[in-house]
Structure formats: structure tokens, C-alpha cells
Amino acid sequence: MASTTSSPDPRRWFTLAIVLIGFLMILIDTTVVNVSIPTLVKDLGASLSDIEWIVSGYSLTFAAFLITFGRLGDLFGRRLFFLLGLGLFGIASLFCGESHTAAQLIGFRLLQGAGGAMISPSVLSIISSTFKGRERAIAFGSFGAVSGIAVALGPVLGGYFTTYQTWRWVFRINIPVAIIGILLGLFYIKESRDTQSQKVDLLGMLLSAISFLFIVFSLIEGETYGWWHQATAFSFGNFTWPASYSLSVIPITAVAGIVFFILFVISQSIKTKRQTSPAVDILLFRSNAFRYGLIALAVIALGEFSSLFTLPIFLQNILGFSPLKSGYATLPLALAAP
């Protein structure tokens, strides 16, 4: 009688190496730019608000589309979205490296974040579908180790390229990594999908993306446009916030972000109760471990990434450190992150 247990994929460890390299690349880009900030200010004439968008814009689109692309990857193919994410990330990195204005760099950083949002959930899903039992624990352990390595490598790599080459190589280095990842992924990663449901929560995806956009915009641009009273008139395209208004646009966008987030939570609660394929299963939040784990991660991220944003500016502009030396100086903070 033949065994019904399927044999493990002999290519599974190659699969793990490929997806972890892609994951390492997108994580490094969350911090690699930070030590280049003073140089970017000089070369591109960037303002503090521009710099905040260059650093945080990547995280904005990454977070805004993470749920969306994760769900679409489950439905239409995790390998497909991993490879598409690598392609988009590589193209965005190419244009980031060729940017000549702060506005151009911000736009392509936003595109990078969208590529990262395709890659990150695909990595977790591919690992989960490829490995079983004890091997799955080893694979996820490797995933966690890569997260710590990326935070440590980002400032050092950014400092090296900025000191000895140019800040543009901070982005250009991603291009060969993305190309190699795509070529190897086509041969070594097996396609997998969620066959239990074919429904897409378009409303939930839209509400989550809009809420993140408004909230992050308010936090970044509050100093520029005024937290309450208007300091600078906001303009977008042909629309300009009237100069006669004493109220800044920031309270409006902040409230809008909160409202859209509440609507997102309500929609997910209803869909979870009806079991109609929500983008986020609200029942997860009944777990104390899940809730407190998210809170702990949020506190760590607030402290870590705010420090990695401000420290390089202080070290280089006030203490006169080189970009590479400031990268080494932030290394203890990164090493403590895991």
C-alpha cells in the first residue's frame, strides 16, 4: 500500500534562501537611507518635510498595501506576487538612484513601499506552505534572524555607500538582487494559493489604505501646515486650501484618517461575524498574546525607528561624524532590536 504522505520538496531550502534574501532587501530599505539624510539635504536641496517623506513614505505605502497584497497573493498566487514585488521594487530602486529632486525620490520611494508590500506577506505564506513540522519552526526562526540582521545592516551599508561611493548606490544595489531573485524564484519556488475562499474584501482594503494615508500624512506634515492654525496653505493639483481659513488642513486629515480606520474596524467585525472573507480576522484580537504582542512591537518600533531617523542627523551635523561612522554608531541600537 503506497504511503499517502507527500515527500518534502527537495528544493525547499533553496526556496527559503531566495525568499529570505528578498525579505532582507526590503527590510534593509527601511533604515538604509537614514544615515544619508544630511547628504540628501545637500544634494537634492531637501527640506525636513521632504526627508520625512523620503524615510516614512516607504513605510506608508508598505503598511497601506500590506493587507491588500497579502490577501491578493493568497488568492492569485504567492509566488506570483513575490516575483511581481521583486520586479516593482527593482524598478523603483533604479529610479530612486537616478532621482534629481526630492519630489522624484519621494515618489519612487512610495513605489518601493508598494513592492515591499507585495513581497513581505508572500514570504510568510511561502514559508508556511513549503515547510511542515519541525522544519517550519527552523524556517520561521531564520525569518526572525533575518529581521534582526536587516536592521543592523541598513545603517552600515547606507553609511558605506554614502561615504565611499554615492548615496545613489543605496538604491542601485537592490537592482541585481531583485533580478537574481526573480530568475531563481521562477525555478525554485512552487506556486501556492488559498483554495478555501475566492472572495476579495475590496472595501476593507480600500478603507485600510485610505486611513493609513490620512493618518501618516497628518503626522508628517503637521509641522509644515500647522497642527491646528494654518501655517502654510496646502495645495494638491489645482486645489489649494484657502488662505483665509485659520484652521489648518491637518486636523481635517487626521479626523478623516481616524474615521476611515473606525469604518475599517466595523467592516472587518461584520465580515468576521458573517464569515465572509474579511481582510483582517477580528477574532485574532481576542488572543491576549496577539494583542499584547502588537502593542510591544508598536512601542519598540516607535523608539527604534524614531531614533534611527534623528541620530544620524545629530551625529553628522552636530558631532561631525561621517555617514559610515554614524552607521557604526547606530549599530548597538540595531543589534539590540532582535
Alpha helices in the chain (DSSP H): 12-28, 37-44, 48-76, 78-97, 102-130, 133-164, 169-172, 174-188, 202-225, 249-274, 288-317, 323-329, 331-336
| φ, ψ of residue 125 in degrees (nearest 5) | -70, -40
CA-atom Rg of the chain in angstroms: 21
Tens-binned pLDDT, residue by residue, of the chain (338 aa)? 444 445 667 788 889 999 999 988 988 887 788 788 888 888 888 887 788 788 878 888 887 788 788 888 888 889 999 999 999 999 999 999 999 998 899 999 999 999 999 998 899 889 888 888 888 888 888 887 787 777 778 888 888 888 888 889 989 999 999 999 999 999 888 888 876 666 777 888 889 888 888 888 888 778 778 888 888 877 766 777 877 788 888 999 999 999 999 999 999 899 888 877 787 778 878 888 777 777 876 776 676 666 766 777 788 878 888 777 887 777 776 665 55
CA proximity to 151, closest of 295, 48, 303: 303
Q: Determine if the pTM surpasses 0.85.
A: no
Q: Domains in the chain and their CATH numbers? A: 12-198+288-336 (1.20.1250.20), 201-276 (no CATH)
Rounded alpha-carbon distances, angstroms, from residue 223 to 34, 53, 234? 20, 13, 12
- What's the DSSP call for residue 231? S
Rounded alpha-carbon distances, angstroms, from residue 111 to 9, 62, 78, 267, 325? 34, 9, 20, 28, 30
